[in-house]
């Protein structure tokens, strides 16, 4: 690795696959469902496309793929979740359509409502032009390996859909978070838990054409993949692809604190060809995103390359170029 980016590499525009937006209707619905302090955070962020673009220019981000973050859009009623999915998806897709070279959109699905999710998938991708979908690591305690989701996964697999998986609070969050914001620790472990569920239910192996994207450097997966494989071979007599093989086909963004330790650990475990850039704005405040970008640019760079160039190439390979 080289010590720093070249001046040319420093100008490479990042593609941010982990960028969020909110709407007034969404925040009102979440608050009405009891999410005044979502996931133990102080409150809700504000967002506008204009402010987002100004910050993207400041950070050297060429394009951001917008999505709804935790706590998701399903607050207990399928009909309400379908309506809320439609509202946020229309806003996100309209923002992307207005400036397709700067924004893209991952559509929210109203899981665990499978029929509603199938309908919204078709509408968002075929009519709105969304580049993929977003789901939470769990919905009401149901994780992604749930058998109920098979019809949705069959369609996602047929379409070779990009599925951005955002962490959320586990059902036991109040007991285990010790009063601290859940994104600090619980999001990391819930992403790891969700991947383990996809592995041990055979979901990743059954639907190999779904392009799964997980956040924050894969959570604890780089440290736990070998331990998961130990248990997989004990439980399944070694049949099927290894945990390393299955997890190595996932995509990971570097939102949060990628350097000096997280990204080197991730790439040592799974390589760098599926590494993506993510800011986590607007939930991560602008000063923290600025510090993250500075850390990326000042970190030891891949030999003959840069983190900017590498993650941008990977994102273009995953998402294609805007039309």
pLDDT tens for the 323 residues of the chain, in order = 655 544 445 579 999 999 999 999 999 999 999 999 998 899 999 999 999 999 999 999 999 999 999 999 999 999 999 999 999 999 999 999 999 999 999 999 999 999 999 999 999 999 999 999 999 999 999 999 999 999 999 999 999 999 999 999 888 877 887 788 888 989 999 999 999 999 999 999 999 999 999 999 999 999 999 999 999 888 765 678 999 999 999 999 999 999 999 999 999 999 999 999 999 999 999 999 999 999 999 999 999 999 999 999 999 999 997 76
User: Interior CA angle at 193 toward 105 and 292, to 5°?
Assistant: 55
The DSSP secondary-structure symbol of 39 reads G
Q: What is the pLDDT of residue 20?
A: 98
Cβ atoms of 16 and 280 within 8 Å: the answer is no
Closest CA to 27 of 47, 13, 9: 47
Tokens (6 digits) for 135: 């789901």
Helix H or strand E encompassing 284: none
Whole-structure pTM over 0.85, yes or no? yes
Q: What is the pLDDT of residue 322?
A: 73
Cβ atoms of 68 and 45 within 8 Å: the answer is no
Instruction: Identify the structural domains of the chain with CATH numbers, from first to last.
Output: 7-319 (3.20.20.140)
Residue found by looking up tokens 């970190």 in the block = 299
Cβ atoms of 173 and 186 within 8 Å: the answer is yes
Residue found by looking up tokens 């990971």 in the block = 252
């Amino acid at each position: 690795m080289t010590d720093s980016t070249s001046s040319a590499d420093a100008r490479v525009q990042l593609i941010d696959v982990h960028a969020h937006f909110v709407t007034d209707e969404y925040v009102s619905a979440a608050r009405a469902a009891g999410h005044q302090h979502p996931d133990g955070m102080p409150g809700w962020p504000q967002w506008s496309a204009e402010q987002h673009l100004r910050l993207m220019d400041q950070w050297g981000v060429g394009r951001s793929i917008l999505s709804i973050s935790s706590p998701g859009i399903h607050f207990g009623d399928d009909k309400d979740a379908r309506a809320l999915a439609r509202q946020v998806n229309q806003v996100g897709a309209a923002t992307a359509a207005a400036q397709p070279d700067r924004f893209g959109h991952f559509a929210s699905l109203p899981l665990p409502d499978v029929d509603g999710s199938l309908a919204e998938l078709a509408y968002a991708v075929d009519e709105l032009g969304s580049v993929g979908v977003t789901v939470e690591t769990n919905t009401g305690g149901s994780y992604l390996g749930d058998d109920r989701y098979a019809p949705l996964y069959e369609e996602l697999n047929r379409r070779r859909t990009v599925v951005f998986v955002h962490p959320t609070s586990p059902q036991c969050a109040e007991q285990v978070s010790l009063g601290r914001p859940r994104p600090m620790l619980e999001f990391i472990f819930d992403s790891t838990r969700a991947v383990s569920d996809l592995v041990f239910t055979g979901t990743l192996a059954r639907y190999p054409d779904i392009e799964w994207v997980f956040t924050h450097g894969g959570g604890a997966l780089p440290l736990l993949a070998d331990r998961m494989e130990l248990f997989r071979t004990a439980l399944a007599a070694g049949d099927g692809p290894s945990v390393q093989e299955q997890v190595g086909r996932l995509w990971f963004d570097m939102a949060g604190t990628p350097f000096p330790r997280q990204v080197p650990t991730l790439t040592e475990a799974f390589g760098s060809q599926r590494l993506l850039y993510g800011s986590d704005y607007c939930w991560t405040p602008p000063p923290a995103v600025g510090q993250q970008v500075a850390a990326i640019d000042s970190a030891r760079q891949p030999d003959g390359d840069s983190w900017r160039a590498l993650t941008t190439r990977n994102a273009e390979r995953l998402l294609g170029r805007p039309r």
